[in-house]
A = this chain, B = another copy of it.
Amino acid sequence: MTATSDTSGSSDTSGSPPSERPTSGSAAPEPPASAPRSEYDEKLLGILRSAAAIFAEKGYHRASIRDIAAATEISLSGLYYYFRSKEDLLFLIQEHCFGTLLERQRSALDPKQPAEARLRTFMGIHLSYFLANRAEMKVLSHESDVLTGTPGRKVHGLKRAYARVLLEIVDELRPEKGPDLRTATFGLFGMMNWIYTWHRDDRDAPADRLADEMATLFLEGIRAPGSARPAAGGQPPSPSIWRDGRR
């Protein structure tokens, strides 16, 4: 695992208004999670939150900076004091979310615990963060391939690091001739990440119960003795109606 603990390095080559990008490092060792921070940071965080909500609602490309200006009550041009471009804004949101999530998992997971307990911890944190920050997570899922160049690579790296955490847990859990590791792990991710598609606070269970139910389902499933016997009748190859195979 490459030491991805650089606080702000690489891409921040220029110097926007406040010399560089000020204190918002993702790996700073501040113990209490709610430090007062500077007024600049406060405001930036507020902008990120509003922007995430708008990106989630309308999609990144359809949302305009003017929309964000209206929501934050900052003028169009005034916003550019806080980020360099619309892409930069998206990057800040994605990096902040993934960074926070990764940090939380790492500090909560105890390697000495058995894999099952770690799986439940992981899922609990993942789902509660997901449901608490739904807009941000939708942006994370939907606009994952918008960013290019260095920022894109940075977010991609965070994502891969995050996935690796779960991959390792699942790998411990997986019996000899169980399902394929990637299939099981990303299947589990799908189960969790699909949530923003259907979950409604007023009729579905809260995060911790969802995590429990999904964890149980997954744990029982992955421990299947041999396999639940694929059952004879699959279905014929059935040609695509899209005229050809569409690859």
List residues of A whose CB falls within 8 A of some B CB: 33-34, 45-46, 49, 59-62, 100, 104, 108, 113, 116-117, 120-121, 124-125, 128-129, 132-136, 142, 146, 179-180, 182-184, 186-195, 197-199, 201, 203-205, 208, 210-224, 227-228, 230-231, 233-235, 237-243, 245-247
Contacts and interface: CB of A to CB of B under 8 A. Distances in A.
Contact of A197 (B132, B186, B224): B186
B213 A183 contact: yes
Contact of A213 (B179, B201, B223): B179
A217 B104 contact: no
Contact of A132 (B45, B116, B189, B245): B245
How many copies of this chain does one complex carry?
2
B62 A179 contact: no
B180 A190 contact: no
Contact of A224 (B125, B146, B211, B216): B216
Given A186-B198, A214-B187, A221-B219, A234 B120 contact: yes
B49 A242 contact: yes
Given A129-B240, A216-B224, 19 more contacts: A49-B243, A59-B59, A59-B60, A61-B62, A108-B235, A120-B231, A179-B214, A179-B216, A180-B205, A183-B213, A186-B198, A187-B191, A187-B217, A188-B191, A190-B191, A216-B221, A216-B228, A220-B224, A221-B221
Nearest to A114: B231
Contacts of A191: 187-188, 190-191, 194
10 contacts: A120-B230, A120-B231, A132-B245, A135-B246, A183-B204, A190-B191, A220-B220, A220-B221, A220-B222, A221-B221
B219 A228 contact: yes
B247 A234 contact: no
B34 A239 contact: yes
Nearest to A192: B190
Contacts of A49: 242-243, 246
A212 B194 contact: no
Given A187-B194, A217-B224, A221-B219, A234 B182 contact: no
Contact of A184 (B62, B217, B243): B217
A218 B217 CA distance: 7
